[in-house]
Structure formats: C-alpha cells, structure tokens
Amino acid sequence: MNGLLVAGNFFVDRLNAQGQSTGIIGPINTTKLAIKADADEKLRSSRKKESYGQALSVIQIGKPVEVEWSFDDQPAELIAMALLGDTQVLNTGSGTLTDVAVTLPDNQRWVQLPETNFATIGFAVKKDAATLVLGTDYEVNYALGLVRALKGGAVEAGGAVTVSGQHNAISGTLVRGGIKAQTRARVFGEGTNLETGKPIKLDIFDASLKPTAALDFAASEFVSATLAGKAQLVAGKDHPFEYLELDT
C-alpha cells in the first residue's frame, strides 16, 4: 500500500454559459485541489417493541461532488475568476491635453483629470497667465491623473487653473469585476505521485465555482484565491471527474 503526494501541473479552461471552452491557461501553481464525494443517508427506523430505534433499512444517495481549488498564481484571467468578472484587452492611444480648465478645491483635495498615465515632462498647470511650480504650488499623481493644490502655494485657496500635458498610450488586460454570478470551469492536470513515481491524471470536467473569501490587494504576503462549488455531469459522461494512475 502506498500514500499519495502529488507534484502536478494543473490547468483551467473557463467555460461559457453553454459549457464551451474559452481557452486553456496554465500550468497554474495550485496549492489545493480538493474533491469531496458525499452522500445523503436515508434511514428507516424500527418502532417495534423488541428493536425500537434500530435501523431496518439504510441507504446512501449520492450528492453532487464538491470541489475546492486554491492557487497563488495571479494573472489577470485568474483574478477575474476570483472576482466573478471577465477580462478585456485594453489599448488606448496617447494624446495631449491643452489648457484644460480645472477647478482646484480649497481644502487640498485631489481633482481627477480627464486622462491618466501622464508623462512627467511637459506637464504644466497655470493660473491665469502664470505657470505654477510643481511641488510648491501643486502636486500630481501622473499614473492616476490627479492634481491638487498645496498649502502655502499660489493656489492654496483653490480656484480655476488650466492643465496641459501628454498622456501616454495604455495597453494591458482589464478585469471587469462583479459581473458574473458564477465561474464555470474545467480544472485538470497531470503529475507524479512522489512516493511511487507513478504518473497521475485528474480531470474535473465542469465545476460551478464561486470565491470563498475576499481577494486582498493590500495583503502583506503573496495573494492567493480559493474557488469552491460543485461538479456537474457533462454530455457523454456518467461521472463528474476522473482520476487516473498510470503504470510506470
């Protein structure tokens, strides 16, 4: 008899509402992939004098298989799954703001500019015809497109200014969170039982999953996520998952 300790390469294929593949990603650093097969017990108890309370009949009726999958790889596609969202390729061009009117508040709070991802060179804020001094009169967050007046500066009391600057192109993957009620996925992979050296394969054909906890973007350790739910049958299969141990 042997134990089971798996080193594995696991992959995920997020399925659409019709259960169709949207593309396989991986291998994913999977820290937990737990499957629980369970059953409901149906009991017929004796009410007879000699055997009161004893079981006359006991049967077990299978319940949906439970799946729990944890991972600490966090590409945008997996973050989207953990946040019940989807992904979208983002490409925006560069451009220029020229003397855009902005009203600075008098309490040194930030104002949002109409663009983000500004270049530091050439960014300018003017009050009437006078060019204000960065770090003395105002402060900028170039990445977010925020500007505010500074205490002791020429616009401490706030008021109308104009902003000019070059904003750079942006390309990446946008996660739109909180728009999917569930995540359907095939989770599968191959590995090795480290005790025996035998290859193994595991395939959960179609699981309906949801996050079990918040995704902590301010965590002091590497961010991980856990999705849990139930596996369901797919066409052509009378079982929701397969585990295969191969001969070496």
- Domain annotation for the chain: domains and CATH numbers: 6-87+177-245 (2.30.110), 94-168 (no CATH)
pLDDT of res. 248: 73
pLDDT of res. 1: 77
Please, are residues 186 and 15 in contact by the beta-carbon 8 Å criterion?
yes
pLDDT of res. 2: 85
What DSSP state is assigned to residue 132?
P
pLDDT of res. 129: 86
pLDDT of res. 144: 97
Phi-psi region of 35 (alpha: psi -120 to 50; beta: other; left: phi over 0): beta
> Residue 100 forms beta bridges with which residues?
163
234 alpha-carbon distance from chain centroid: 25
Q: How far apart are the first and last CA of the chain?
A: 16
Please, are residues 139 and 132 in contact by the beta-carbon 8 Å criterion?
no
pTM (2 d.p.) = 0.84
pLDDT of res. 196: 92
- Low-confidence spans in the chain with pLDDT less than 70: none
Q: Give the H/E segment covering residue 81.
A: helix 76-82
pLDDT of res. 182: 85
Q: Which contacts qualify for 96-99: CB closer than 8 Å, 24 or more apart?
A: 96/164, 96/165, 96/166, 96/167, 97/163, 97/164, 97/165, 97/167, 98/164, 99/126, 99/162, 99/163, 99/164
Query: Helix (H, G, I), strand (E, B), or coil: what is residue 215?
Result: coil
> Which tens digits make up the pLDDT trace of 184-210?
999 999 999 999 999 999 999 999 999
